[in-house]
Every structure is written in C-alpha cells, then in structure tokens.
Structure 1
Amino acid sequence: MDDGTWSIGELARRAGVTVKTVRFYSDRGLLPEAARSSGGHRRYGPEALDRLRLIRSLRALDLPVPDVGRVLVRESALEDIVAGRLREVGSRLTALRWQEAALQSLRDCPAGERAERLRLIGAVTTPPSTTALARFWRRELPARLPARLRASIVDAAVPHPPADPTPAQVLVFARLHALVTDARPPVDHWRSPTGRTMCGRTDEEVRPAVLFEGLGEAFDLASAELRARRRPYGGDALDCFVAAHARTYGARDTPLFRQRLRVLLTVTADPVLDRYWALSGELSGPHEPTLGAAQEWLRAALDTERGLPEARLPGARV
C-alpha cells in the first residue's frame, strides 16, 4: 500500500527487530496502529517506529514491560521508575560485592579456620541485614525509654555495613551478627540486686530517659575529641557526661559523686557490650567513633582525675 504506512514485517525490518517482537508489543497496546488493510492486516505509520525504538531503549535498561507502558502513558513516570531501578541495581551490586569479599575471606584463611569461618559468614544474608543488631539493642535498652529516644539510640548504635567491604569487614560483621544472636539470659542493666542504686535511689526513682538525653550530648563532644585524636582529659565532654548521671540520680556533681560514678562504671561493665563496641569499631573504621568508643574515652577521662575520695558502691547497678 502506497499510503505511507507499513506492514508488520516492514516495521520490524526498519526497527531491526523480529515480527514476533512487534506483534508482542502490539497485542499489549504499546504500538499504535495507523490502519488495517482490506485483508485485516495491521498497518503502522512512522509514529509506531518512533515508539518501537523508545520501547527498545527502555527494555535495554531492563525495565519490565508494565513499567514501559507507564512511561509511554506518562513520560514523567520515567524519573520515579529509573530511581527505583537504581536502588535495585545498587542492592544487587552490594550483594555481589559482599559475596565476593566473603569468598575471598574463605579462600585466604588457614585451612583449620575455614569451617568456623564458613559457619559465621553463612549465617549472614547478602547484602547483610542489621535487623538482628537492632533487635539486640531494643532488648538491652530500658523499657521506660520514650519511643523516639529509643529509636535514635538504636540508629546510632547499629553500624551501617559498607557497600564495598573488604574480606576482613565481612568477617567482622559476621562475628558481630553471631555475638548478638547467641542466646544469653536477659540482662537488666537498670535494676540493682538490692532494689537501690547510687545515692540511695530506688530502681523506680532512676530516670534512664534523663541519662540518655544527656549522654547524647556528652558522646557528641567526646566523638569530636576522638576525631581530633586528643587523649582523655577533664573538660566539657566529661562535665556533660557526669552531669547526665547526676541528674539521673537526683544528685549533684561533686568529687564524691564522681568517685562513686567511677566505681559504678566498673562494676556494671558488660563483656558482651565491650565486645560489641570493639567489633563495631573495626567495621566502622577509626575515623567514625562509635558510641562505645566515646563512652570509653569518657571513662578514661574520669579515671585521669586525681585526688577524688575513696568510695565504695557494693552491689550497685545502673
């Protein structure tokens, strides 16, 4: 037909695709038909060729056919679809990088350690999930914390796995995951054996929300000192740290209180949490101090103070 339209075969030839491909998109309403021949055959105009080339470009980006249809109906949908595809591709790339680093870790380890390392790494999904770490902290934190404060603490305490990890980082995260998933009896860090805490306060009178609100500011100040590589010393960060504990117990910041606080921090030390912060620090790197590193700096700063009176704190718990 000499009317400026093409048969399905001619359109396929011009577009460099098969007739089956043209028919597939036509049957789904993605290609406009210019007319029908007297025999009922489809005829296509130049707009169908432009549309077919656009479809091929979108499909080359691995966009599903339904998403292609959305773009053809509303061009502005392309931005959201591309953003979504980028997230999916990024997630797949991260998973592949973690798999590669995990395989390298297994390849390079001594033969005697391979079975244990495989057990650790095999328990972690790729890309890794931090759900178990967040669950661990929700269990460790006192129940009386406001939801907003609890969420901010969990967010700060859970490290973000690197998108392009080294074999060592894969192993560190696997050990961290194993640490928080290994069963241990629930530990109530906020209840003393005698029901009374420092300064004679009962467990119910202690206000953990006040403590954590104040510790946030103290940790920020200590983190700045860590980034500057300053040794622990008495200053604004330590004063803020001590003041947060004093407000929690309804006490004043005195030399005797500081000595009691030093003892309290010693007797309430938790080896599981210490191990958590050590592994978290290995994962994050030295340039991003963890909450545990900030607290350790503040503890060391408190220990540097001299001339404090001796104080005993038997059975005290935070």
Structure 2
Amino acid sequence: MFDFFIHVASIACLYGTLALSLNLQAGFTGLVNFGLIALFGCGTYGAALAKGMGWHPLVGLPAGLLFAALLALFYARLGRKLSSDYWGIATLSIAEILRISITNEQALTGGAQGVSGLPLLFAEFKPFDGTARLALYVIVLALVWFICQRIVKSSFGLAMKLMREEPQLARSLGYDLDAIRRVVMLISAAIAAFSGFLYAHYLTFVGPDQLFSPETFLIWSMVIIGGIGNNWGVVAGAFVMQFAMAYVPFVKDVLDLPTDFVAAARLVIVGGGLLAFLLWRPKGLFPERVGGNHGR
C-alpha cells in the first residue's frame, strides 16, 4: 500500500506541475487552451526521440523544450486573429492532429506501439528509488509553484490579469497583448514539456494514448475544482483528483462491481466534477484572492 501511495503521489506531483502551466494560461491570462496535452507530449516525445536515436537521456529534455517552444509560438500566433473560444477549439484540433500524426509515424515515434524501455530515474537506489523519485517531483512542483508565484506577483503578472479582465483597456494603456500571449505560452510550454519529460521517464514508456484530449480535460478539472487563478488551489485540485481516480478500483472491489465500472467512474469523476463545480462553486475549492496577494 505504501508503494501505491508513492506512485499516486508521484503522478499527482507531475499533474500538479502541468496544472500550474495551464493556470498561467487560463487562470491568469484568460487563454483557453484545450490543446495543453500536446505541449506535454512534446516533453514525452523528446524523451522518446533521445531513446530512439541512441542519445543520452538528458538530450531529450532540450529537444522536448524546443518542440514545445515552437508549438507554443504557433498557438500564440493563432491567437492574434481568433477570439478566445475559437482559439480554444483551434488548439484542441491541433493537438488532435498531432496525436493522429504521431500514431501514423513509425520511424521516429514508434507509431501506435509507442516507445518503451526509457531509463527509470533512480532505479539504482532500490528499494528507495520510489521515494527518491517522489522527492524529486515534490522539489520540481515546489520550484514551478515558486516561479509561477513570482510571475503573477510581478508587474508582468498584473499585465496578464489586465489582459484577462479588460483586454481593450490593456491595449489602450499600451500593453502589447501579442507579446504577453507569446511569453506566457513559452513559459507554460516549458513547464508542460518538463513535466512530460519526467512523466516519460517515470512510466518508461511513451505512446499516443497519453495524448488523448480527455487528458487535457482532466487537467482542466484539476484547475477548476482546485480554484482557477490560485496556484495553491490548482495543486490541491491535482492531488484531490488524482487520489480520487486512483482509489476507484478499491471501491469497485469493495462493492464487487464489474471491471467496466473503473473507466466509467473515472469519466464521471472528471466530467461530473467539472460540471458540479462550474454550476455550484465556479471559483473552486480555493478561490482566487483579489487584492495585493496575487495568485495566493
């Protein structure tokens, strides 16, 4: 049971890092990105590319960051001529196009079979390798949280929030909204890709099934349930959602339910949780604090 807890906490930390990336975009800047999973996938497939080409595993990180930066700039450029709703649909479409392309590409991505055999971090530290990995993920999560806090409390963070609340006013005051969008997308893309790189080396496998659009909406549910616009909240939301989904099989066993219950229950947790909070508590468990303490 302890190993299972370590596993769930590790995934929660990685998803919490990814949720912070989305919160920078949607929570503080008003960028409705439904293609976040593609930025995450840049990190996972950067690790896969290093494995396939026989490079040192660490080479996969700059490769993933480069892929994510290019995709982020493309997303940002699309945002120049599209409203937030249409931009969200466009990012979702691009992410799905990339997933289908990866599925049908054999030479570099392994196609539908993916790439396996990636090195596991701290594997030589057995029997404490799981604890060592969790410690690393906690440090990464804390560091990313600290960076996000510094950003949203800075003058640039105020510009982000002004762009979210009153874009026309921000433009009239001389703010370059396109530049703000580019910077936010590049920062959040780097966070998402780094999370993806760590995730790939945690599972030691990368495949297109990890890039399905429901994964993006899982991260959205973490952000909305935790508290959009609150960095503490989205981390809490990531842990709440991940532990809730991880313990569904135990409920199935206790109630002696069929195996299909697990997948259905997880969909209900994500979709039902999103709907319930949007209807009855749209600001999440930990609402954004308005005032001097930005981002909480």
Tell me which interval the TM-score lies in, with the shorter structure as reference length: under 0.3
Q: Over alpha carbons, which structure has the higher Rg?
A: 1
TM normalised by structure 2 equals 0.22
Higher relative contact order (CA 8 A, sep 6+): 2
